[in-house]
Amino acid sequence: MRKLATIRTVHETRPIDGADLIELAVVDGWKCVTKKGEFAAGDAVIYCEIDSFLPVREEFEFLRKSSLKVMDDREGFRLRTVKLRGQISQGLLLDPKILGREFSVGEDVTEELGIVKYEPPIPACLGGDVVGGFPAFIAKTDEERIQNLAGDFDSFRGLLFYVSEKVDGTSFTAFLLFNDEIGDQFGVCGRNWQLAEDESNSHWRVVRELNLRERMGTLGRSLAIQGELVGPGIQKNRYALKAPTVLVFNVFDIAASAYVDKAEMEAICRELDLSIVPPLGEMNVPDDMDAILALAEGKSVLNPKTQREGLVWVRGSGDDRVSFKTISNKFLAKHGD
């Protein structure tokens, strides 16, 4: 379960130009606008990440005017990136006293506060019946944001990473598992579920159009192809594509229980005639958090008329693999809903 609400420490507070009632509080790599004087450096706080969906409770009622949403037929408050007095604010800081108990820094209080991840409504073309949960023998794709890795940033600085554009679509996984005892298994998954074959489902339609089951069989390996499904009906089709397609960003070796490195991923995709997310080459991690977040901003390779969502940074493979994502604040401010 993703840690959406954790006990953290305020690193510093900063004034905001032209603002008398609000200021900026910095927590790890995150920056949150707060009431002036509400928190000070060294204070313990509950930090709630963007995309958190907070339940309707008295402590959160101040969010009603700005953040009320409905998800799965229930009301709640969705946290998103906002700009106040020209300052980007990401997340919410709360006084840990609302817990009504002792607490410790680093503690995960997501479940205790009834917070879940906000998930937008699923388009009809992506719906359908499920076979079961996401297969346990495949790693799920969910790169950590660099702001949550502030404590590790010093170890990344100056290192060379493989960098690709983060594409704004919906999660796609297709796997082929060779098994002499129970027979070969082929499956297709969204982010959380394995999907039943359905002619109206976009995931399976793309699999058939790409002849993916047969192509993967020619490799003779137990692999999972993971990528973003993009196109009409998906995330407002920001890239103005004419048909649904998959852009691969990972290949998972099921037998080795590890991701292959990016060079091997590209070779496998060439052999399968699959497109990959736009690679931007190798980059050295810059000196500070602000600089690496600035690199996330820019136009999409897929459609230069729209902002890219951000970048994904990957180094190494197997047990030595390090990866994280940097999301464009310009993208979040414009498309956060």
Reported confidence tier of residue 155, pLDDT bands at 50, 70, 90? very high
Using pLDDT thresholds of 50, 70 and 90, give the confidence band for residue 111.
very high
pTM for the model stands at 0.81
CB 168 within 8 A of CB 235: yes
Is residue 113 left, alpha or beta, with left meaning phi > 0 and alpha meaning psi from -120 to 50? alpha
Q: Note the pLDDT of residue 142.
A: 74
Mean pLDDT of 115-143: 80
- Please give the backbone phi and psi of residue 62, each rounded to the nearest 5 degrees, phi first: -65, -15
User: How high is the pLDDT of residue 12?
Assistant: 95
pLDDT > 80? residue 180:
no
Query: Could you give the domains of the chain?
Result: 5-117 (no CATH), 124-335 (3.30.470.30)
| pLDDT one-digit tens code per residue, 74-88 | 999 999 988 888 888
Report the pLDDT value the prediction gives residue 210, as an integer from 0 to 100. 93
Mean pLDDT of the chain: 91
- How many CB atoms neighbour CB 37 within 10 A? 9
Cα(215)–Cα(1) distance, integer angstroms: 34
Give 168-208 as a DSSP string: -SEEEEEEEE--TTT--EEEEE-SSEEEPP-TT-HHHHHHH
Place of tokens 């920001």: 238
Assess contact for 226 and 314: CB atoms under 8 A.
no
The whole-number pLDDT of residue 324 equals 95
Q: How many helices (H) and strands (E) does the chain have?
A: 7, 22
pLDDT given at position 73: 86
Q: Which residue has 């949403």 as its token pair?
A: 69
Q: Give me the helices (H) in the chain, please.
A: 64-67, 153-156, 202-210, 212-217, 262-272, 289-295, 329-335
pLDDT in tens, 193-210: 899 998 888 899 999 999
- Give me 336's structure tokens: 């956060």
pLDDT of residue 284: 97
Taking the C-alpha atoms of residue 148 and residue 286, their distance in angstroms, rounded to an integer, is 17
Q: Say if residue 1's pLDDT is above 80.
A: no
Confidence band (pLDDT; 50, 70, 90) for 191? confident
Q: Work out the pLDDT band at 122, boundaries 50, 70, 90.
A: low
